[in-house]
């Protein structure tokens, strides 16, 4: 492999790993918000315990995601100097806004939420986690806005080989952006639902003393699963309409249709000149895995809803084993989707404007290989650490001192004798 191919592989690794953390954080924060909202207004200690249990797992994964994001920023500067030179005037704005939202607003409010237990009023504390959740999705929007420009560059003009932003509104209304945002949000809901359902099922199988809590989180997750999976399918197919117009080569590779592939190659050669303008054929493999598996999850989500009747999903036990086994599935699916979106753009870094070869930094093969090895080791260790920590805290179950404050210690809260009876304490 030459330096460009190694740089592409490095970006694939850093992007994939970071995307795993982000997807779980986006999905898991919704459950934390839901449980804390119910606890705040119903004053049910079951929801307080669920908030602190899932909140701790969210914080662990969020921290890993921050580190992964920093690593990804470093590889942008190291391996893709050509991309920064040509498109920095356009991409700099969305990425800077995302950084301000994620690293300043989101992280600051999350810190206040973590250390605010028992120290600030209940409603104010609830508002903090709502801000965290909202800014997380706003952050995702700005990153996808930058990525949409790579997929379908709009609102710019080229001067002396450098892109300059001329229409900020066009950048925000990019046809490659809106459906993609809703698809990613839906995928995050699916990821969070299957993670919560799987961990809850695992706790019930190991006969946890916190049966009421994990039954409730399991029910929440089962209800949330179809809310995520059906929109994910819908907005996934809507994106194909835009892809057919802006990136016909990607769609031809996704469906692996020889006649369409030949026709599109001829059209692209007439547009860009002689050369191979189609992405690799193997893009159809992750696309088929993603599509077929998601259809299966859609059917399964309905079956699980039916099994909620009379609590069959727990009493039959088999669905619990299935849900535990499904924990890694959404992570595989989001990586498949990312591969289709990014590799399907090849051989362009910015479609029709900047080739991947021109976007890469002028590194030697040895330097690129050393960089890739270092980044892969760091990110591999980060993934392993995240899995170990998530597993450790999930295994502990619901603890009294989670997030540094005893249960029932929030200002304005009270746990009555009836509440103790309710949760079996």
Give the pLDDT of residue 260: 87
Specify the DSSP element, H or E, that contains 163. strand 162-165
Residue 425 pLDDT class (50, 70, 90 cuts): very low
When pLDDT is averaged across residues 361-365 and rounded to a whole number, the result is 91
When pLDDT is averaged across residues 200-208 and rounded to a whole number, the result is 92
Give the pLDDT of residue 397: 87
Contact 157, 166 (CB under 8 A): yes
pLDDT of 209 higher than 90: no
Q: Which residue has the higher pLDDT, 76 or 263?
A: 263
At 348, is the secondary structure helix, strand, or coil?
Answer: strand
Angle between helices 284-307 and 211-246 (to 10 degrees): 140
Tokens of 262: 């030949």
Contact 250, 150 (CB under 8 A): no
Q: How far apart are CA 89 and CA 415, in angstroms?
A: 55
Give the pLDDT of residue 410: 52
- pLDDT tens across 128-187, in order? 999 999 999 999 999 999 999 999 999 999 999 899 999 999 999 999 999 999 999 999
Q: Are strands 156-159 and 162-165 parallel, antiparallel or unpaired?
A: antiparallel
Q: How far apart are the first and last CA of the chain?
A: 61
Give the pLDDT of residue 408: 63
pLDDT of 336 higher than 80: yes
Tokens of 196: 């919560």
Q: Tokens 């600051």 sit at which residue? A: 108
Query: Which of these, 213, 320, 177, 224, lies nearest to 29 by C-alpha position?
Result: 224
Which segment, 1-15, 63-77, 187-201, is predicted with the most confidence on average? 187-201
pLDDT of 243 higher than 80: yes
Query: Which of these, 70, 376, 328, lies nearest to 199 by C-alpha position?
Result: 328
Residue 401 pLDDT class (50, 70, 90 cuts): low
Give the pLDDT of residue 409: 55
For 157, other C-beta atoms within 10 Å of its C-beta total 10
When pLDDT is averaged across residues 387-411 and rounded to a whole number, the result is 76
Residues in Cβ contact with 347 at an 8 Å cutoff, skipping those fewer than 6 apart? 276, 277, 279, 355, 356, 357
pLDDT of 68 higher than 90: no
3-state class percentages of the chain: helix first, strand second, coil last, to nearest 5:
80, 5, 20
Give the pLDDT of residue 244: 85
The model's pTM is 0.91
Contact 401, 57 (CB under 8 A): no
Report the largest interatomic distance among the alpha carbons of the chain, rounded to a whole angstrom. 79
Residue 246 pLDDT class (50, 70, 90 cuts): confident
When pLDDT is averaged across residues 221-233 and rounded to a whole number, the result is 96
């Amino acid at each position: 492999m030459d330096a460009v191919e190694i740089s592409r592989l490095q970006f694939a690794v850093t992007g994939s790993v970071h995307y795993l953390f982000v997807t779980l954080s986006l999905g898991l924060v919704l459950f934390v918000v839901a449980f804390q909202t119910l606890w705040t207004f119903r004053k049910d200690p079951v929801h307080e315990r669920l908030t602190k249990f899932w909140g701790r797992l969210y914080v662990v994964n969020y921290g890993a995601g921050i580190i992964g994001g920093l690593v990804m920023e470093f590889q942008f500067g190291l391996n893709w100097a050509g991309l920064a030179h040509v498109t920095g005037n356009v991409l700099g704005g969305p990425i800077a806004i995302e950084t301000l939202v994620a690293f300043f607003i989101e992280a600051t409010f999350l810190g206040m939420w973590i250390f605010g237990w028992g120290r600030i009023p209940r409603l104010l504390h609830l508002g903090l986690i709502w801000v965290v959740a909202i800014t997380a999705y706003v952050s995702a929007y700005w990153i996808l806005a930058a990525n949409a420009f790579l997929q379908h560059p709009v609102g710019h003009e080229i001067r002396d080989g450098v892109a300059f932003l001329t229409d900020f509104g066009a950048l925000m209304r990019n046809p490659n952006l809106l459906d993609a945002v809703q698809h990613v949000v839906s995928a995050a809901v699916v990821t969070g639902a299957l993670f919560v359902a799987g961990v809850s099922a695992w706790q019930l199988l190991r006969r946890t003393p916190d049966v009421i809590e994990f039954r409730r989180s399991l029910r929440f997750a089962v209800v949330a699963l179809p809310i995520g999976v059906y929109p994910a399918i819908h907005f996934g197919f809507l994106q194909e309409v835009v892809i057919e117009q802006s990136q016909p080569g990607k769609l031809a590779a996704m469906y692996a249709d020889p006649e369409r592939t030949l026709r599109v190659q001829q059209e692209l050669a007439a547009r860009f000149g002689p050369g191979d303008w189609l992405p690799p054929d193997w893009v159809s493999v992750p696309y088929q895995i993603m599509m077929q598996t998601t259809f299966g999850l859609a059917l399964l989500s309905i079956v699980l809803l039916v099994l909620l009747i009379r609590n069959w999903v727990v009493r039959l036990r088999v669905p619990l084993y299935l849900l535990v086994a499904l924990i890694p599935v959404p992570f595989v699916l989001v990586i498949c989707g990312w591969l289709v979106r990014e590799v399907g753009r090849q051989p362009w870094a910015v479609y029709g404007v900047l080739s991947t070869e021109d976007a890469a930094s002028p590194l030697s093969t040895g330097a690129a290989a050393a960089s890739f090895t270092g980044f892969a080791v760091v990110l591999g260790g980060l993934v392993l650490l995240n899995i170990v920590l998530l597993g450790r805290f999930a295994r502990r179950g619901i603890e009294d001192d989670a997030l540094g404050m005893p249960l029932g210690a929030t200002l304005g809260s009270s746990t009555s004798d009836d509440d103790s009876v309710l949760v079996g304490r």
